[in-house]
Amino acid sequence: MDYFHLSAGQDHIGQISSLGLAYLGDGVYELMVRAYLCLHGKATNKGLHRAALDYVAAPAQARRIQKILPVLTEEERQVFRRGRNSHTAAVPKGASVAQYHAATALEALFGYLYLRGETERLNELFTLMMEE
């Protein structure tokens, strides 16, 4: 199996919990943020780590989500809603419940798209989110 170029079927993905998708999507999103930062001139490890926090923390993700909500397909909206409505054990310090649920929804969507092999769509949504 090629874990960089996946194309899992809907039946298989449907068996994965929303939190499972969010777990995977968290890694996908963080990898994309790290690549973005490296390609945009953040040179030191300390600088990279601090800069990454400005993108991967739940409040930052919740703000950026607003940029992509209008362009989500109905299928993507369903995955997003499923992720947002999942029951999480705890909310991290510095984030509201709403922000954390929105971030979980984003991560579930990114996990879903990654498993589907929809890397072009991931790039399109990520690019929209990163626009200032």
**Catalytic annotation, pick one of 2, 11, 26, 54:** 26
**Distance from C-alpha of 110 to C-alpha of 31, rounded to nearest angstrom:** 11
**Cβ distance 62 to 98 under 8 Å?**
yes
Active site residue 11: no
Residues identified as active-site: 26
